[in-house]
Amino acid sequence: MFENRLRPVVAGTHGAVASAHPLASQAGLDTLRNGGNAVDAVVSMAATLNVVEPYMSGVGGVGFLLLHLTDGPTRVLNFSGNTPAAATPDQFTPELQDVGPKACLIPGNVAGWFEALDSHGTQSATDVMSAAICLAEQGFPLHPLNAQIIEKTLPRLNPAGRAIYGKQPPRVGAVLRQPELAGTLRAIAQHGPDYFYRGPLAHRIADHIQAEGGLLSREDLAGYAPEWQEPISVTYRGFEVMTCPPNCEGFQMLQTLQLLEATDLRSLGHNSAEYIHLLSEAMKLATADRIHWCGDPKFHDIPLERLLSEDYAAARRQWMNPAVASKSEGERWSGSPTSDVVSPGKIDGLTTHLTAVDAVGNVASITQSLGNAFGCGVVVPGTGVAMNNFVFWTEIDPACPTPNLIQPGKRWSCCMSPLQVFRTPADGAVGRDFWFSIATPGSYGILQTTVQMLLNAVEFGADVQQAIEAPRFRLYEGTRMQIEDRVTEAARGELTARGHAVEPIGDYSMLVGGGQSVMIDPESGARLAGADPRRDGYALAY
């Protein structure tokens, strides 16, 4: 069913990791080998990605952790950032919400990394972050994707950023050194999150943003804290599928699965025209509900119990057109939709993903980001800190009726959605057994790509690498569908006949994400991992 793979599954008996860069994965694996657990390993990778993928994520960014503990509950750590107190819709234009000092939310990554380590880690921050500090100080050779993205996105950067990343032509094999970032990471590791949120670095960041006309203040940084939350889940084909609650938009993935469960997907054939059509129809309905309902539950009531109920799924399923492509509003709110697009139901980037599983079965999965490449383009002079631009993912039109309209202190409606799948124990015992974690970067495409990868494993028996490598598609406004060329020409032709505006995007395209996965084999207990060849991802195990 699945074509010849580009990479093998990576397997070991003790632990496995997967991230978007081989040097970050090596840092995570070394942490496991040196006695660390999955939390230590995933934070080590998260910090290292700041260095080897500086345009994707870092201390100026935000994220989510989905954490499964063998001797405790599965929990979510939300460090997705908040809007500065001075941020109101009238402060922004479309340009100002994307590039420049106004575009950043309060960064959450440092608070999230340290909260995870303090609550469930076993090693010191200095040990966990040592690989990141070393690579920033001594440098690392650029990989193809490094060179490509840095060259393409240099125009976004302020002078401080161009002095670091434009100092030499970005080419494969050129060594990138980031001594200012090394000093920042070393100080954070030694002094903890207070140094970033309330100490000298906080003052330096906030004062620079304010001086450049931005909104982030010392008070915004000082008041920030991450939050532990309960995950949300649905049952699909007897497996429990779990992700983060709103303000995370992960419930779109859960809704999509519920809409599909009434159909025998296997009988349709993997990536047949009928299969892709049905999946796209479910995605469009779930996307409409996500746009309409998702936001920060501290500011808006979100009827999540109703949205994820079986009777609601049954009612929404009636709107899935079995023959013709329905029209979608698109990936986000874009003004009042026309009457012929899929409507919500009635209720009475650039990003990176990384994951680790350890010897005792703890699993830590983080999705984190700066937003667009190098975030808002502001690198704070003397620190190496690139600030995020997640105001871009909020709505700034005061007429917007959705919960994602920007508001002081509010969390954005966040498409980053780590996901884990669990089996019911075979002996009927109470509880659940971890099976696999899978997720991807890719902006709103995250919510479509992750479902496709999950279905490859659950419905069609793919291993973790096959699930990631298999061809996939992404939906946009109207009936527009980007699809990889490895989907057969016959299937693409039939999709066109059904009304889909099909756009081939090559055999392996970054436009449909860059997934990472770890799995525990249910029979042998082996730790398996896979990573996406569409980007520079690598999986390692021992």
Confidence at residue 348, expressed as pLDDT on a 0 to 100 scale: 47
Would you say residue 161 lies in a domain?
A: yes
Q: Which residues of 87-98 are buried (b: 16+ CB within 10 A; e: fewer)?
A: bbbebbeeebbb
Beta bridge partners of 438: 517
How much is the pLDDT for 350?
Answer: 66
pLDDT at 383: 98
Q: Indicate whether 117 belongs to any domain.
A: yes
Chain-centroid distance of CA 292 in Å reads: 21
Q: What confidence tens digit (pLDDT) does each residue in 342-378 have?
A: 756 655 456 899 999 999 999 999 999 999 999 999 9
- Is 0.85 topped by the overall pTM? yes
105: Cβ contacts below 8 Å, ≥ 6 apart: 62, 81, 82, 83, 84, 388, 390, 391, 412
Q: Which residue in the block uniquely carries the two structure tokens 């057969």?
A: 488
Question: Which neighbouring-strand residues pair with 423?
Answer: 433
Query: Across the strands, what pairs with 46?
Result: none
Torsion of CA 118, 119, 123, 125, to 10 degrees: -30
What pLDDT score does 1 carry?
74
DSSP code per residue over 371-433: ESTTTTS-EETTTTEEPP-GGGGSB--TT--STTB--TTPPP-B----EEEEEPPTT--SS-E
| pLDDT, tens digit only, all 542 positions of the chain | 787 789 999 999 999 999 999 999 999 999 999 999 999 999 999 999 999 999 999 999 999 999 999 999 999 999 999 999 999 999 999 999 999 999 999 999 999 999 999 999 999 999 999 999 999 999 999 999 999 999 999 999 999 999 999 999 999 999 999 999 999 999 999 999 999 999 999 999 999 999 999 999 999 999 999 999 999 999 999 999 999 999 999 999 999 999 999 999 999 999 999 999 999 999 999 999 999 999 999 999 999 999 999 999 999 999 999 999 999 999 999 886 666 777 566 554 568 999 999 999 999 999 999 999 999 999 999 999 999 999 999 999 999 999 999 999 999 999 999 999 999 866 555 557 999 999 999 999 999 999 999 999 999 999 999 999 999 999 999 999 999 999 999 999 999 999 999 999 999 999 999 999 999 999 999 999 999 999 989 999 99
Q: Is residue 419 part of a domain?
A: no
Peptide bond into 247 cis (omega under 30): yes
Burial 262-296 (b: 16+ CB within 10 A, else e): ebebeebebbbbbbbbbbbbbbbbbbbbbbbbbbb
Give the model's pLDDT for residue 5: 84
pLDDT of residue 346: 52
The verdict on residue 139 lying in a domain is yes
Neighbour order of strands in the sheet with 433-439: 10-12, 527-531, 516-520, 433-439, 419-423, 239-243, 232-236
**For residue 408, is it within any domain?**
no
pLDDT at 345: 65
Instruction: Find the domain containing 154 and state its range.
Output: 23-62+80-225+371-393
Domain total in the chain:
1
> In angstroms, rounded to a whole number, what is the distance separating the alpha carbons of residues 99 and 107?
16
Q: What percent of the chain has pLDDT over 90?
A: 94
3-class secondary-structure state, position 77 = strand
Residues 534, 21: contact at Cβ < 8 Å? no
The per-residue pLDDT for 426 is 63
Asked, for residue 211, whether it belongs to a domain, the answer is yes
Give the active site residues.
351
In a domain, 121, yes or no: yes
Ramachandran sector of residue 335 (left: φ over 0; alpha: ψ -120 to 50; beta: rest): left
Q: Of the candidates 367, 445, 420, which has an alpha carbon nearest to the alpha carbon of residue 49?
A: 367
Residue 269 forms part of a structural domain: no
